[in-house]
């Protein structure tokens, strides 16, 4: 099956119609004050296929705080910079615990279970602080290149809000430091981490950025390899098994695609060799994932008739 045999726009329009009158379930994230201000009725979806065609509906061009979706981008940069040495400091197993859990670090001697829980992402942030003199600029440069959009930036208001309320992350990075798994100044690591989570992107921009994970590590129309085939394989595997906090199994069961969610209400998923798709709906289920976003992606793979399984 090739992507041009699937009427993606027709399918997305059906999804929009199916959920247009559905009462919203879940609650908008409130532990970061700025996120609590986002209207709960925002709903957008954008699919970018490997033919270079875009299909969308709703609020797909409106930027929002991508939060933990950013962990896929920082992991990609870290893998490019340090290679397999990275896995000496962070694992690749699902956690089965909430994304901000501290308990596992004690049992695992300061080695986070995977790069997508907060502890793992903080270790990745430390790697990038070591690798770049200006890691925030390096992250933005990477995103500008893979999206061809130099206007993508951090939302400084959200970053400040995260810093003001980030007590568990402060505890976590200091705890990691006590095990020797943070090499840099904790304030510098946290500043970068809070900014990466405060990246502001739209569904359209996220789908364009994630197309490299569906296309052998390359953007469409380019021979430049941003990531190797092996790196893409490993990142996709981690998204499949660890991309949804302690609900990764449910997402695999219902949707069947590698992906990553964020508490800003965004979810991005990829179907290798076919497309990258992003959906945004702020209300979260009890596991911290967009309730409507998960339902919309389940309908996408049901209506297209194919996932990775």
136 is catalytic: no
71 is catalytic: yes
pLDDT of residue 213: 97
Please provide the average confidence, as pLDDT, over all residues in the chain.
93
> What is the average pLDDT across 19-45?
90
8 is catalytic: no
Q: Does 252 reside within a domain?
A: yes
Q: Give the lowest-confidence range in 16-25, 80-89, 96-105, 246-255.
A: 96-105
Confidence of residue 114 (pLDDT cuts 50, 70, 90): very high
> What is the average pLDDT across 105-117?
90
Q: Among the options 90, 263, 268, 279, which is catalytic?
A: 263
Instruction: Note down the domain range covering 71.
Output: 3-304
Q: Does 10 reside within a domain?
A: yes
Confidence of residue 101 (pLDDT cuts 50, 70, 90): low
* Helix runs in the chain, H state only: 8-19, 70-82, 103-107, 118-131, 135-147, 156-165, 167-178, 186-197, 203-210, 229-242, 248-254, 291-304
- Give the domain CATH number at 281: 3.40.710.10
Q: Among the options 8, 245, 274, 275, which is catalytic?
A: 245
Confidence of residue 187 (pLDDT cuts 50, 70, 90): very high
How many domains is the chain built from?
Answer: 1
pLDDT of residue 31: 84
Number of Cβ within a 10 Å radius of residue 271: 23
Determine the Cα–Cα distance for residues 85 and 81; give it in Å rounded to an integer: 10
- The share of the chain scoring above pLDDT 90, in percent, equals 83
Question: What 8-state DSSP symbol labels residue 217?
Answer: T
Determine the Cα–Cα distance for residues 194 and 78; give it in Å rounded to an integer: 17
Confidence of residue 3 (pLDDT cuts 50, 70, 90): very low
Q: Among the options 3, 65, 68, 290, which is catalytic?
A: 68
> What is the average pLDDT across 189-204?
98
pLDDT of residue 22: 79
Determine the Cα–Cα distance for residues 47 and 26; give it in Å rounded to an integer: 24
- The share of the chain scoring above pLDDT 70, in percent, equals 97
Q: Give the lowest-confidence range in 31-40, 46-55, 92-101, 155-164.
A: 92-101
Q: Does 309 reside within a domain?
A: no
Q: Among the options 3, 8, 28, 71, which is catalytic?
A: 71
Confidence of residue 98 (pLDDT cuts 50, 70, 90): low
193 is catalytic: yes
273 is catalytic: no
Q: Among the options 8, 48, 193, 275, which is catalytic?
A: 193
**For residue 9, which of 274, 280, 300 has the smallest C-alpha distance?**
300
Q: Does 276 reside within a domain?
A: yes
């Amino acid at each position: 099956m090739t992507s041009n045999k699937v009427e993606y726009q027709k399918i997305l329009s059906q999804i929009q119609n199916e959920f247009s009158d559905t009462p919203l379930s879940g609650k908008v994230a409130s532990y970061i004050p700025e996120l609590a201000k986002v209207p709960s009725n925002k709903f957008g979806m954008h699919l970018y296929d490997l033919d270079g065609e875009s299909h969308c509906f709703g609020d797909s061009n409106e930027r929002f705080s991508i939060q933990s979706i950013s962990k896929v981008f920082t992991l990609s940069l870290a893998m490019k910079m340090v290679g397999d040495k990275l896995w000496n400091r962070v694992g690749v197993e699902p956690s089965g615990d909430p994304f901000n859990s501290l308990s596992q670090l004690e049992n695992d001697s300061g080695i986070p279970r995977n790069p997508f829980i907060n502890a793992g992402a903080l270790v990745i942030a430390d790697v990038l602080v070591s690798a770049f003199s200006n890691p925030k600029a390096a992250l933005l440069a990477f995103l500008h290149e893979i999206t061809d959009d130099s206007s993508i930036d951090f939302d400084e208001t959200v970053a400040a809000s995260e810093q003001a309320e980030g007590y568990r992350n402060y505890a976590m990075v200091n705890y990691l430091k006590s095990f020797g798994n943070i090499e840099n100044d904790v304030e510098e690591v946290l500043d970068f981490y809070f900014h990466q989570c405060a990246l502001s992107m739209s569904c359209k921009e996220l789908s364009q950025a994630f197309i490299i994970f569906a296309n052998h590590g390359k953007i469409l129309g380019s021979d430049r390899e941003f990531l190797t085939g092996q790196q893409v394989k490993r990142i996709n595997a981690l998204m499949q098994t660890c991309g949804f906090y302690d609900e990764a199994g449910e997402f695999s069961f219902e949707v069947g695609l590698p992906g990553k969610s964020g508490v800003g209400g965004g979810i991005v998923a990829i179907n290798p060799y076919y497309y990258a798709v992003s959906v945004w709906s702020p209300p979260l289920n009890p596991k911290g994932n967009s309730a409507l976003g998960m339902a919309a992606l389940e309908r996408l793979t049901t209506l297209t008739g194919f996932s990775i399984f």
